[in-house]
Amino acid sequence: MDIKELRDKLLHFVKYKFKNLNDIDNLAEDIVQDAFLIVKKEEQYNFKYLAAVCAHIAYREYRKQKQQKIKCLELERIDFLISEIDVPEQIYKNEFLSKLLGFIDALKETEKTILTLHIYENLSFEDISDRIDINRNTAKSIYRRSITKIKQRFYEITKEDILPKAG
């Protein structure tokens, strides 16, 4: 098999196997190219080895995209959180967004996951419980606790801004 055929076969493999990745058409080109660069150093041009290298690179990209998804909530979903939290007027939106992302980042992994799945991906608690293998009521409870933690953090900040410091 010549290199062009091998490249085309690898592109098809990556696009099919990782079709759920964002922008997979463009990403597949990069993945295959990276695989060839890695393998060229080792001078092994067989499909199985290149496919394994492609899969490794694609899984790394998948994990990166998943992490970005969790950390970066869409603005419309953040607006939902804003309405849930009832932000006082003296906290400006930019400051609020940066603090909100910081508060979310400070949550436990399970809390972040449930918050993200419910708000960002708009999943029901039933779907969340199926996806992460916990009881539906537990998912609801963790979500409520997460929202409460975030609210408390904002009220603490607001209280510090309003009340004069002792001293």
The answer for residues whose C-beta is within 8 angstroms of residue 87's C-beta and 6 or more apart is 96, 154
Q: pLDDT digit string (tens) for 63-116?
A: 777 666 655 544 555 556 656 555 555 455 667 777 777 888 888 988 988 988
Structure tokens at 55: 């899969």
Q: pLDDT digit string (tens) for 58-70?
A: 878 777 776 666 5
Mean pLDDT over all residues of the chain? 76
57, exposed or middle or buried, with CB in 10 Å at 0-12, 13-18, 19+? buried
* pTM above threshold 0.85: no
Rounded (10°) angle between helices 125-132 and 109-119 = 140
The answer for residues whose C-beta is within 8 angstroms of residue 83's C-beta and 6 or more apart is none
Q: What is the sign of the dihedral through the CA atoms of 11, 16, 18 and 20?
A: positive
Q: pLDDT digit string (tens) for 110-141?
A: 898 898 888 878 888 998 888 888 999 999 99
Structure tokens at 146: 């997460």
